[in-house]
Structure 1
Amino acid sequence: MFFVIEREHVGPSQHQETHTGFHAFEVSSQPVRYASSGEVCLDDYCGEENGIAIYAHGEHPTAEAAESWIEIYMTGLNLDFREDEELGDGVVTRFCVGRYRPISAEGTRN
């Protein structure tokens, strides 16, 4: 099974600079867990971690089915998206909201 996980920057954190504007949907081989209890979260708001809100959007039989669900969902919301190559543990694919990668404050200084 593969799981669709949404992560979105919602507020201040110690990693503020890195996460500003971050919003992505991931296909993962591992389910996300509730931040409060550690139990598996399949289709719900799962909590917040370092200023990133985490939502689970169900389980799918294949990675391709999960990717298709994300593309249909994002298209239905008229969201531009791009595929990201920086993947973490268990993450098969990541689609970031927005056509372009957000630039950090430090990036604007350079």
Structure 2
Amino acid sequence: MKFYIEEIRYCGPDGRTDKYIDFDRFEITTEPTRTNMTGEVCLDGWLGMYDDVTRYAHGGYDSLAAADYAIQNLLGDEYRLDDEPSEFPDVLAVYRPGRLPPMSDETLGIWLQDVDVPADADNAALRRQARDLASELEDMGVSVSVVRIWLCLESLRDDAREELED
């Protein structure tokens, strides 16, 4: 039996929404990877795109351990194995990039509603606050980049400034 690695990525406009924020994955499967246009077996490279989802093949392996090792080399230390089994019987394992699942923009916006952002905060203060919040979110088991948090804090600060002017 051979084992194959397929990378699946969402590349559409809604990448930070709840539906797609943790969509990207690498799967180890017992079925050879095939192009989506011709259905031909393709073990290395681009397989095609459909509905803003693109697929790539990353080789065929003689053992599950060899395929697992290949994924570790592709993703480095920053990956996690899905706990839930796939709905497809030929998919043996699903790996997601990142040590922690990411938080969507919608969920981040809701979470930040209770955060106090002073209208007079300068950019340095916002960066410090963003780092602290990113650390807090990581402790909660999710990841959000400091830059994404900082941009949201800037927007909240600008809203606070507008309220003062009115």
How far residue 63 of structure 1 moved from its aligned partner, in angstroms, is 1.0
Q: Aligned partners of 2:50, 2:5: CA distance in 1, in Å?
A: 17
Matched residue type, 1:84 = D
How far residue 39 of structure 1 moved from its aligned partner, in angstroms, is 1.4
Matched residue type, 1:57 = H
Q: Aligned partners of 1:4, 1:69: CA distance in 2, in Å?
A: 8
Q: How many residues align?
A: 105
| Structure number with higher helix proportion | 2
- Which residue is equivalent to 1:88? 87
Matched residue type, 1:88 = E
Matched residue type, 2:58 = H
Q: Aligned partners of 1:56, 1:4: CA distance in 2, in Å?
A: 6
Matched residue type, 1:100 = L
How far residue 74 of structure 1 moved from its aligned partner, in angstroms, is 1.5
- Which residue is equivalent to 2:118? none
Give the secondary-structure state (helix, strand or coil) at the position aligned to 1:19: coil
- Which residue is equivalent to 1:100? 100
Q: Aligned partners of 1:31, 1:12: CA distance in 2, in Å?
A: 29
Gap change, CA 1:12 and 1:36, over 3 Å in 2: farther
1:51-100 Cα deviation digits (max 9, x unpaired): 2210001100011110011112211xxx6111113413111111100122
Please give the TM-score of this superposition, normalised by the length of structure 2: 0.55
How far residue 21 of structure 1 moved from its aligned partner, in angstroms, is 4.5
Check whether the contact 2:22–2:96 (CA below 8 A) recurs between aligned residues.
Answer: no
| Structure number with higher strand proportion | 1
| RMSD, aligned CA | 2.2
Please give the TM-score of this superposition, normalised by the length of structure 1: 0.79
Matched residue type, 1:32 = T
| 1:1-110 → structure 2 map (5 Å cutoff) | 1-12=2-13, 17-75=18-76, 80-86=78-84, 87-89=86-88, 90-104=90-104, 107=107, 109=110
Amino-acid identity (%): 30
Answer with 96-105 or 23-32: which moved more.
96-105
Considering only CA atoms, is the larger Rg found in Structure 1 or Structure 2?
Answer: 2
Q: Aligned partners of 1:26, 1:84: CA distance in 2, in Å?
A: 10
